[in-house]
Amino acid sequence: TPLLLIDDLHFAYPDGRVALRGVHLRIARGEKVALVGPNGAGKSTLLLHLNGVLRGNGRIEVAGLPVSERTLSQVRARVGLVFQNPDDQLFSPTVFEDVAFGPLHMGLAARDVQARVERALALVGMSTYRERHPYHLSMGEKKRIAIATVLAMEPEILAFDEPSAGLDPRARRGLIRLLRDLPLTMLVSTHDMAMVQELCDRMIIMDEGRIVADGTAATMLDDE
Ligand code: ADP
Ligand code: ADP
């Protein structure tokens, strides 16, 4: 079974704007998949369905678990969503508390929470930042902390909305290296084709609420 399965997903916003018009997608464990397409194609809307922030019509399963009202907390432990703007994800007075928030709310014991925070901060190279106030960090540092908050949940899939947006070239390179080295399944919405080339094995193109192309990233980039 695929790690992520989406069948015939449709979604319209409350104002009637149709954002997804029948999305079918299967992602196998370990794949790093780029999600590209023009603004308004439905990429963000699709990502927001992966952990049940939005609920459209259709079937979504994560590691065989159907996404529904009843399974939301389990789904959110399996899918880590990293927003474009880290300020949407960081709200605690210290980095430690931000990264501890998810595992604490999973009901883990304090020492397990501690261990997860340390592991997550080490993975993103931010171990020395635990007592810092997230607000005062650079964009690249905030991005890494936002990723750590999600890694601390030990998810099976990471979903990113425009991860390299707003980063200077050095922070961007560091982020690509970090993501490339993480042995996790990823779905990455981006306009950054160099990032696709360096990070992703597969590329999906969305347009007007549908997937219009799906193939090997290297081949599709060569064809452009
Ligand atoms: P993308 O991420 O590919 O730019 P979005 O998922 O943000 O695309 O948008 C898909 C469509 O849904 C667009 O037509 C967009 O204007 C619309 N849309 C996005 N968010 C909202 C919202 N909160 N309310 C109404 N329409 C929205
Ligand atoms: P992105 O492509 O990065 O998702 P968008 O420009 O599509 O950026 O959306 C930026 C924000 O505006 C999102 O929070 C989205 O939900 C909201 N938004 C986009 N289109 C609409 C719309 N037609 N009506 C209301 N909110 C929208």
220 vs 207: CA distance, rounded Å: 16
Rounded mean pLDDT of the chain? 95
In angstroms, what is the span from residue 42 Cα to ligand 2's centroid?
A: 10
Please give the share of the chain, as a percent, with pLDDT higher than 90: 93
User: Which ligand 1 atom lies nearest to the CA of residue 41?
Assistant: 3
Please give the share of the chain, as a percent, with pLDDT higher than 70: 100
Residues 9-59 have pLDDT tens digits of 999 999 999 999 999 999 999 999 999 999 999 999 999 999 899 999 999
- Residue 223 has a pLDDT of 78
- Residue 187 has a pLDDT of 98
99 vs 90: CA distance, rounded Å: 9
Read off the pLDDT of each residue in 141-163 and give the average, rounded to a whole number. Answer: 95
ipTM above 0.95, yes or no: no
Nearest CA to ligand 2 atom 13: 44
Q: Is 14 helix (H, G, I), strand (E, B) or coil?
A: coil
Name the residue of 44, 53, 160 whose CB sits within 8 Å of the most ligand 1 atoms, as the mutation to test its pocket.
44
- Residue 25 has a pLDDT of 98
157 vs 150: CA distance, rounded Å: 10
Among 174, 146, 186, residue whose Cα is nearest residue 3: 186
The sign of the dihedral angle between the CA atoms of 64, 67, 68, 72 is: positive
In angstroms, what is the span from residue 39 Cα to ligand 1's centroid?
A: 8
- Residue 224 has a pLDDT of 66
pTM: 0.90
Q: Which strands sit side by side in the sheet containing 210-216, from one edge to the other?
A: 79-82, 157-161, 185-189, 32-36, 202-207, 210-216
